[in-house]
């Protein structure tokens, strides 16, 4: 599938677009309705009329930002218009929500009249806590922001200007530290005179660059005093008293080149002519003014940054705007001023100089980051960015008098921010990145299934796994052609494989005293069971893991795996684990798929295996052994069984945090758990061990269908080699997730 088709597919699959509105209060009963709307809603209306600040108390205003655009400067695509710019504005909303839990309404205005945009924003002030201007062309964007900042009493921020400026300024401070250059001495050239270039230049001067040491260029060359062609009042601010007239002349001897222009604007000759230890930020998107390869080919002492994620030092606006607005909203700031922008610059620069935790490295495929020429800007998926930038913004707002609700305890505020970072889907992303660090061969017995083929395409494109498809070669090739998939992966047809006879002989050896004949073994391998064939590939080391079951019943995958691979030595059974992902957390449920009525021994086994698997996924396990009884409150054989299982776990794995027997709500509700002061569980459990298959299976299916949880699994535990089972209703994303888990499992034999 081409990237173009993949992007269109991403936006149109399921619910159209990328955002939705979700109610935060219940509306299930007549009483709920009377509170949500008439007559109950009259009370907050009257309260707000008496005290307008109560809008922050009774409505979503305090966490709601408008992303406003007219589509005249959409990405690097130019004037696409308001409607065509809407996907970008929705995407901006996704980033606000993902990185700072800020809600967004995107507002696309069908006008190129700046005064109409100003008026629209002013009329919207009662609705929003802040305005993010986006993709509005220069010079109109300067005028619009200036007027709104003068007339509105909520933060207004044009991200195209200030976002880029803040990130590259942080990178600049760190690059200067590495080169030993002083900001007051450097000579800087800014190529580009649009919104972001204007703001980058202003912020560099605010940081200490001397205006006389700055040259700005546009498509006509150097912006100099006395120039009339292509000038406006915003360019005039940077008109230099200089005889230089071209970018080539300006670059000669310069310490820094800021590129906010177009692909290829910087040449190797310019780089060669710069001062020692040059700093080049080529920030044009999608293609920079000069690539790092081109610059480093000319000289080895250059420090580079670009706007692209596939190069080190990405100048990515997502490092700025979500956290800037988070801090501004949390103190109800009336503006985002220069001091707040500078606070963000210094917070980001400081964070990049700190030791990078393993969790960040894991999020980027175990790549190690250390402050230096290839790491002068924090990574967007570094969770510490929120904890550094938002408090810095809030503090600067308080220090400069624009905060209407100052934070009294900054340490507590930072703790609250940390608690807001739900782990949910980030755990799956961590697993995927771990898989990417060492992709393994995963065999798919149902190689002709459409979902399997689409998932295989994703696995290859993202480097998560090395898929092997088992099935009729012609049928698989035809299906790929029908789906327009350009998929270059091994296809193994059991009817023609050179290993089929070898596999048949091995199956006969394993099962000859368990009812199988030599001819039956050959028939199974050639025609009857591709799952047997796939498990034999894993058994023989021709694949690292198996993932099957999308077209079959659960036992039809488990049985061949047990017959060929078997369970681990010393175990009484194999066990199933589900990962249930909620908005604010993740829980692991076991056994939900295999053992119908486990003994205490088997329950203990399930708990220990689940803890090992959860730890392998970089989650610290906290285990609750569930029952209808709370710590002996009921005397019954079923409760006694769970109690005995807890004792066995504590004997065999004393390092584990495990408690029980306990009721499900006691295990996950802090207030209920606090009532049992003797419990080893001091915080809610995240690994829930069910007393039988009835309860476990019912629970995970209800959570999935009614509780809004995303279920990932079943993750099979206790097999000799990695085998995992898909469900018939799994979609492509489910298959990709399970494949990532299979790879991580294979990485930890």
What ranges in 371-486 are assigned the alpha helix state H? 384-399, 410-419, 424-437, 450-461, 473-482
CA torsion angle for 201, 202, 205, 207 (degrees, to 10)? -110
d(CA 378, CA 348): 7
Q: Is 123 annotated as a binding residue?
A: no
Q: Is 668 annotated as a binding residue?
A: no
Q: Is 317 annotated as a binding residue?
A: no
Beta-bridge mates of residue 103: 64
Among 42, 306, 33, 329, smallest CA distance to 171 is for 306
Catalytic one among 61, 92, 235, 379? 92
What ranges in 152-251 are assigned the alpha helix state H? 159-179, 195-207, 233-236, 247-251
> Beta-carbon neighbour count of residue 169 at 10 Å?
27
DSSP string, 258-295: EE-S-TT-S-HHHHHHSPSS-EEEE--SSS-SS-HHHH
Q: How many CA within 13 A on the CB side of residue 264?
A: 0
Q: 567 and 559 in contact (C-beta within 8 Å)? A: no
Full strand arrangement of the beta sheet holding 491-492: 491-492, 466-470, 441-444, 545-548, 723-725
> Beta-carbon neighbour count of residue 353 at 10 Å?
13
Largest CA distance in the chain: 97
d(CA 616, CA 595): 23
Q: What end-to-end distance do the CA atoms of the chain give, in Å? A: 33
473 Cβ contact list (under 8 Å, min separation 6):
491, 493, 496
d(CA 734, CA 740): 10
Q: Where are the beta strands (DSSP E) in 491-591?
A: 491-492, 545-548, 575-582, 585-590
- Dihedrals φ, ψ of 626, to 5°? -85, 150
Among 584, 585, 580, 615, smallest CA distance to 700 is for 580
d(CA 634, CA 437): 49
- Residue 526 DSSP label: I
Among 605, 590, 531, 591, smallest CA distance to 561 is for 531
Separation of CA 70 from chain center? 28
Q: Is 307 annotated as a binding residue?
A: no
Q: 710 and 409 in contact (C-beta within 8 Å)? A: no
d(CA 259, CA 25): 48
What ranges in 333-404 are assigned the alpha helix state H? 338-353, 358-363, 384-399
Q: Is 646 annotated as a binding residue?
A: no
Q: 694 and 558 in contact (C-beta within 8 Å)? A: no
Q: Where are the beta strands (DSSP E) in 95-248?
A: 103-108, 130-133, 156-158, 188-191, 214-218, 221-222
Q: How many CA within 13 A on the CB side of residue 57?
A: 12
Q: Is 33 annotated as a binding residue?
A: no
The DSSP bridge pattern shows strands 130-133 and 156-158 to be: parallel
Asked if 475 is an active-site residue, the reply is no
d(CA 715, CA 614): 10
Q: Is 285 annotated as a binding residue?
A: yes
* Helix or strand holding residue 659 (H, E): strand 657-662
Which residue in this structure is represented by tokens 């295990």?
667
Q: 740 and 713 in contact (C-beta within 8 Å)? A: no
Alpha carbon separation from 417 to 101, 422, 621 (Å, rounded):
10, 10, 23
Q: Is 75 annotated as a binding residue?
A: yes
Structure tokens at 204: 């560099």
Which residue in this structure is represented by tokens 């600067």?
396
Structure tokens at 543: 């694949």
Please state the residue numbers annotated as binding site for NADP(+): 74-81
Please state the residue numbers annotated as binding site for a divalent metal cation: 134-135, 160, 285
Please state the residue numbers annotated as binding site: 74-81, 134-135, 160, 285
The residues assigned a catalytic role are 92
């Amino acid at each position: 599938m081409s990237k173009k088709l993949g992007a269109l597919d991403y936006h149109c699959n399921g619910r159209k677009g990328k955002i939705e509105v979700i109610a935060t209060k219940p509306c299930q009963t007549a009483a709920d309705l009377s509170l949500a709307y008439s007559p109950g809603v009259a009370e907050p209306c009257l309260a707000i009329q008496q005290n307008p600040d109560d809008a922050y108390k009774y409505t979503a205003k305090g966490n709601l930002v408008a992303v406003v655009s007219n589509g005249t400067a959409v990405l690097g695509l130019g004037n696409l218009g308001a409607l065509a710019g809407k996907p970008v504005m929705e995407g901006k909303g996704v980033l606000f929500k993902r990185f700072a839990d800020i809600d967004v309404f995107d507002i696309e205005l069908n006008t190129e009249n700046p005064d109409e945009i100003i008026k629209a924003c002013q009329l919207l002030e009662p609705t929003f806590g802040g305005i993010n201007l986006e993709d509005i062309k220069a010079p109109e964007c300067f005028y619009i922001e200036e007027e709104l900042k003068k007339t509105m009493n909520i933060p207004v921020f044009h991200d195209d200007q200030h976002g880029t400026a803040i990130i590259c300024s942080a990178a600049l401070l760190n690059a200067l530290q590495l080169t030993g250059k002083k900001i007051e001495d450097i000579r800087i050239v800014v190529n580009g005179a649009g919104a972001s270039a204007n703001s980058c230049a202003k912020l560099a001067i605010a940081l200490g660059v001397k205006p006389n040491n700055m040259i700005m260029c546009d498509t006509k060359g150097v912006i100099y005093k006395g120039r009339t062609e292509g000038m406006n009042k915003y360019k005039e601010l940077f008109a230099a008293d200089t005889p230089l007239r071209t970018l080539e002349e300006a670059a000669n001897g310069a310490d820094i080149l800021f590129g906010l222009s177009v692909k290829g604007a910087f040449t190797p000759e310019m780089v060669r002519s710069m001062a020692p230890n040059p700093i080049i930020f080529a920030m044009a998107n999608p293609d920079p003014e000069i690539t790092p390869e081109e610059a480093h080919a000319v000289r080895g002492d250059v420090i580079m940054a670009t706007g692209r994620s596939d190069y080190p030092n990405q100048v990515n606006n997502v490092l700025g705007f979500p956290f800037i607005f988070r801090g501004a909203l949390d103190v109800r700031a009336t503006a985002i001023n220069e001091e707040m922008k500078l606070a963000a610059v210094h917070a980001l620069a400081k964070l990049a100089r700190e030791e990078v935790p393993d969790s960040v490295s894991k999020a980027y495929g175990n790549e190690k980051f250390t402050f230096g020429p290839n790491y002068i800007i924090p990574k967007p998926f570094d969770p510490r960015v929120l904890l550094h930038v938002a408090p810095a913004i809030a503090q600067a707002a308080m220090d400069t008098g624009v905060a209407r609700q100052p934070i009294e305890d900054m340490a507590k505020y930072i703790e609250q921010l940390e608690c807001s970072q739900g782990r949910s889907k980030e755990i799956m992303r961590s697993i995927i990145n771990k898989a990417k660090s060492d992709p393994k061969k995963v065999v798919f017995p149902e190689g002709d299934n459409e979902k399997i083929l689409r998932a295989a395409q994703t696995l290859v494109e993202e480097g998560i796994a090395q898929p092997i498809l088992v099935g009729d070669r012609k049928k698989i090739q035809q299906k790929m052609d029908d789906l327009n998939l350009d998929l270059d992966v091994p296809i193994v047809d059991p009817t023609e494989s050179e290993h089929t006879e070898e596999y048949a002989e091995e199956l006969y050896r394993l099962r000859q005293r368990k009812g199988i004949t030599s001819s039956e073994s050959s028939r199974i391998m050639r025609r009857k069971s591709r799952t047997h064939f796939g498990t034999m590939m894993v058994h023989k080391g021709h694949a690292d893991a198996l993932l099957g079951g999308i077209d079959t019943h659960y036992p039809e995958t488990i049985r061949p795996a047990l017959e060929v691979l078997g369970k681990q030595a010393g175990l009484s059974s194999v066990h199933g684990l589900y990962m249930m992902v909620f908005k604010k957390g993740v829980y692991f449920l076991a056994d939900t798929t295999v053992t119908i009525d486990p003994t205490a021994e088997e329950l203990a086994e399930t708990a220990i295996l689940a803890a090992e698997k959860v730890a392998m996924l970089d989650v610290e396990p906290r285990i609750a052994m569930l029952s209808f009884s709370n710590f002996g409150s009921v005397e019954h054989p079923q409760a006694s069984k769970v109690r005995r299982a807890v004792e066995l776990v504590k004997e065999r794995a004393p390092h584990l945090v495990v408690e029980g027997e306990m009721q499900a709500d006691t295990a996950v509700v802090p207030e209920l758990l606090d009532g049992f002061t003797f419990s080893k569980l001091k915080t809610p459990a995240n690994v829930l061990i069910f007393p039988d298959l009835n309860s476990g299976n019912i629970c995970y299916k209800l959570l999935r269908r009614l509780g809004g949880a995303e279920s990932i699994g079943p993750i099979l535990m206790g097999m000799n080699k990695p085998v995992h089972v898909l469900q018939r209703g799994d979609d492509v994303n489910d298959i990709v997730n399970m494949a990532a888990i299979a790879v991580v499992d294979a990485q930890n034999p």
